[in-house]
Amino acid sequence: MNKVIGLVNFHTSPEITPLTDNRPLGSTSFLGRYGICDFALSNLCNSGISTIGLLVKDHQRSILKHIGSMDAWLSNTKIGQEIVMYNEGAHLHPESNTDINNLRENDWVLYDSSIDYIVIVPAHLVMTIDLRPYLREHIERNEKITAIYAHVRSMVDECVGGKILEKDEDGYVSSTRLNDGTIKGAGDVTLGIYIINRITLVEMIHQLLPKNPYMVLSQLIVEGVKSEMFKLHAARFDGFVRAIDSFAHYMEYSLSLLEKKNIDRLFHPDWPIYTLTHDTPPASYGKNASVSNSYIANGAVINGTVINSIIGRDVIIGEGAVVKNSIIFSSSRIGDGAKVENALVDKYAILTHGHGISGAKKSPLYVHQGAML
């Protein structure tokens, strides 16, 4: 079999203040149990890709903490490997901190002649995708680059930041433009998932990058198409996908997964999403607990009321407390009688006895990590 390396790209994740002030979106908590990048990592692992690199942009600390001993997403731990890739030089020159420069820093990927194909997946996509059929098609058609895209019903609301594709009759991309969030209607938008022949990537870097060393991978690909270096093959993904692009969307997408029709499209019994175990006991519900339409993580202690919410690991909800349409990150504590509505409470925060906070549905309130209210 051809050798494939998978790369989880943290460079292309948007900054969604205030959630990502101190962490990348990829290692941000999701559904009370996962890090968002668990989807990308599990998709690569379940697709039979054994060597996985993490292209880390910044906040390396947060990513290292989440991936732990680095074998939660490997099948054979001898054959497989998880490698953190980091561009140290970019510390001094943030503008040069791109996915391409990170790969140039970790250039063994580019030189290792045993690697035929590179599959690159953004760290912040919430989706389950079997990459094997795409790889097969890429190899069978003898393509150089395949871009995976989704057909988006409302481009104003979804996949903002992706590239809108126009295709010719052979399925090759004829032109691209940025989905900047102002274009109404439906369209085909790239997800940032690419299958690239290693040799092609090396050629692109050698021939195109000198023009502008700050170009990111997606720009480089557009340049390659323009200069007719290769044809860009576009392959469509039809499943559930959410590209988190704003704080409000993070809340909306998370809470929309409380609906069965959505969760059933995202999770499949034979496509497990792996994550780091924390060995926390099952969630404990007190005598007066009242919970409806919510996800509750292990280690949580629920003594109050929880409605349409996501409760993280080791969270304590006090007696008489009410949490509604909200997300509580791990190890936070909602005191007795406290009220939380349309809010995201970050890790280790404490809402004291009887305190009330509420945001609006369209603009949820954010409580800082470690805050005490």
Partner 1 sequence: MKNELIALILAGGKGTRLQALTRKVAKPAVSFGGKYRIIDFVLSNCANSHINHVAVITQFENGSLNNYVGSGKKWGLNGVNTSTALLSPRQTDEGSDWYKGTADAIYANIDYIDSMNPEYVLILSGDHIYSTNYQAMLSLHKKADADCTISVIDVPLEEASRFGILEADEEGRVTAFKEKPKQPKSTLASMGVYIFTWKVLRANLIRDAKDEKSGHDFGHDIIPYMLEHKKRIFVHRFKGYWKDVGTVNSLHQANMDLLNPSLSKELFGSGVAPVYSEDTAAMPQYIGKNGSVADSLINQGAVIMGSVRRCVVSQGVIVDEGAVIDNSVLMPGCHIRKGAKVSYAIVGPDAIVAKDETIKGTADAVVLYSGRGK
Please state, in angstroms and rounded to a whole number, the distance separating the CA atoms of residues 12 and 217. 9
Judged by beta carbon, residue 172 or residue 267, the one nearer partner 1 is 267
Q: Which is nearer to partner 1, 89 or 281 (CB)?
A: 281
Helical pair 198-208 and 217-226, crossing angle rounded to 10 deg: 80
C-alpha distance across the termini of the chain, in Å? 57
Binding of residue 37 to partner 1 (CB under 8 A): no
One symbol per residue from 246 to 285: x for binding partner 1 (CB under 8 A), - otherwise; what is it?
A: ------------x----x---x----xxxx-x-xxxxxxx
* DSSP-assigned letters across all residues of 88-119: GGGGT-GGG--HHHHHHHTTHHHH-TT--EEE
Asked if residue 363 binds partner 1 (CB under 8 A), the reply is: no
Judged by CB under 8 A, does residue 358 bind partner 1? no
Q: How many residues bind partner 1 (CB under 8 A)?
A: 35
Backbone phi and psi for residue 324, each to the nearest 5 degrees, phi listed first: -135, 135
The answer to whether residue 348 forms part of the interface with partner 1 (CB under 8 A) is: no
Q: CA dist 355 to 141, 286, 319, Å?
A: 61, 21, 13
CB of 78 to partner 1, least distance (A): 13
The contact pattern for partner 1, residues 309-338, with x = CB under 8 A and - = no contact, is -x---x------------------------
Residue 33 makes contact with partner 1 by CB under 8 A: yes
Residue with Cβ nearer partner 1 (118 or 310): 310
68 counts as binding partner 1 under rule CB under 8 A: no
Phi/psi for 225 (5° steps) reads -65, -45
29-30 and 145-152 strand pairing: unpaired
The minimum distance between CB 29 and partner 1, in angstroms, equals 11
Which SS3 state, helix, strand or coil, does residue 60 take?
helix
Among 32, 35, 162, 359, binds partner 1 (CB under 8 A): 32
Which residue in the block uniquely carries the two structure tokens 């991309």?
173
Residue 263 or 365 with smaller CB distance to partner 1: 263
CB of 361 vs partner 1, minimal distance in Å:
18
> Which residue, 184 or 287, has its beta carbon nearer to partner 1?
287
DSSP bridge pairs for 332? none
Half-sphere exposure of 237 (CA within 13 A, CB side): 27
Give the interface segment with partner 1, choosing from 93-101, 120-128, 221-229, 296-304 (CB under 8 A): 296-304
Distances (CA, A) of 319 to 114, 126, 211, 356: 59, 34, 63, 14
Asked if residue 146 binds partner 1 (CB under 8 A), the reply is: no
Q: Are 334 and 323 in contact (CB under 8 A)?
A: yes
Q: Using the minimum distance from each CB to partner 1, give the nearer residue, 22 or 288.
A: 288
CA 101 – CA 298 distance, rounded (Å): 40
Owner of token pair 């292309």: 12
Residues paired with residue 232 on neighbouring β-strands, in sequence order: 145
**Closest to 110 (Cα-Cα) out of 209, 22, 36:** 209
Q: From the CB of 301, what's the least distance to partner 1, in Å?
A: 8
- Among residues 22, 154, 175, 288, which is the contact residue for partner 1, using CB under 8 A? 288
CB of 329 to partner 1, least distance (A): 13
Binding flag, residue 50, partner 1 (CB under 8 A): no
Site of interaction with partner 1 (CB under 8 A)? 31-33, 258, 263, 267, 272-275, 277, 279-298, 302, 306, 310, 314
